[in-house]
Amino acid sequence: MKPKTPSESLAILTDLVLPGETNPLDSLFGGELLARMDRACSIAARRHSRNIVVTASVNHVVFNKAVPVGSVVTVEAKVSRAFRTSMEIFVDVWTECLQTGKKVKVNEGIYTFVAVDEYGKPTQVPAIIPETNLEKERFEAALRRKQLSLVLSKRMDPKEATELKKLFE
Ligand SMILES: CC(C)(COP(=O)(O)OP(=O)(O)OC[C@H]1O[C@@H](n2cnc3c(N)ncnc32)[C@H](O)[C@@H]1OP(=O)(O)O)[C@@H](O)C(=O)NCCC(=O)NCCS
């Protein structure tokens, strides 16, 4: 399989925050934002693998700033690292002031998707070659995050999490 770059998987979704999507403080409801992030990540994972993909885990989500009703929200997702059948996807969320064009980062998340065949069996994905400094940084740390996610979901014995252990040495 020919390796690909993270930018080949880039998925960008831009949409408004409507009143029906808010909490009692008139800010975007967290679950609505997570759904938008999941959709963008799913498109990025499909662009990378050109296969059916399923969400295996949501490893990290930070809600840094509330997003008021009426905001324009852009969700940008890119594959940061591909393993054998799984892919780590970084998703960054921005709001944009339509008067000035100023963009503010409000949220980020890290998802794991797995490529599967029509029977739901995991299938191999292409490797990834990071290009920018940020892509290289995210690529380098992805194995550590994968091990953490596997340990937390009891799929890996902590004793085998070599990359994770290096953090504490
Ligand atoms: C995710 C799923 C396909 C994994 O299937 P499985 O039979 O356990 O397969 P494996 O153990 O071989 O795991 C496949 C890959 O997923 C990775 N993986 C599984 N669970 C993971 C987790 N919690 N965190 C990180 N990676 C995980 C494995 O490490 C493996 O990666 P690799 O092949 O790149 O090394 C399966 O559990 C599933 O279908 N889950 C339901 C998905 C779903 O319904 N999502 C919501 C709707 S899309």
Ligand 1 pocket test: which of 42, 114, 117 has the largest number of ligand atoms within 8 Å of its C-beta? 114
Q: How many CA atoms lie within 13 A of 64 on its CB side?
A: 11
Alpha helices in the chain (DSSP H): 30-49, 133-152, 162-166
* Strand locations in 7-157 (E): 11-16, 52-63, 72-82, 86-96, 103-116
Residue 64 is predicted with a pLDDT of 85
Helix, coil or strand: residue 48: helix
pLDDT at 97: 87
Q: Which of 86, 117, 148 to mutate to test the pocket of ligand 1 (most atoms within 8 A of CB)?
A: 86
Residues 123-152 have pLDDT tens digits of 999 999 999 999 999 999 999 999 999 999
**Residue having the nearest C-alpha atom to atom 9 of ligand 1:** 122
Predicted local distance difference test score (pLDDT) of residue 99: 87
Nearest-CA neighbor of 39 among 85, 7, 73? 73
Domains in the chain with CATH codes: 6-129 (3.10.129.10)
Low-confidence stretches of the chain (pLDDT beneath 70):
none
CB 36 within 8 A of CB 13: yes
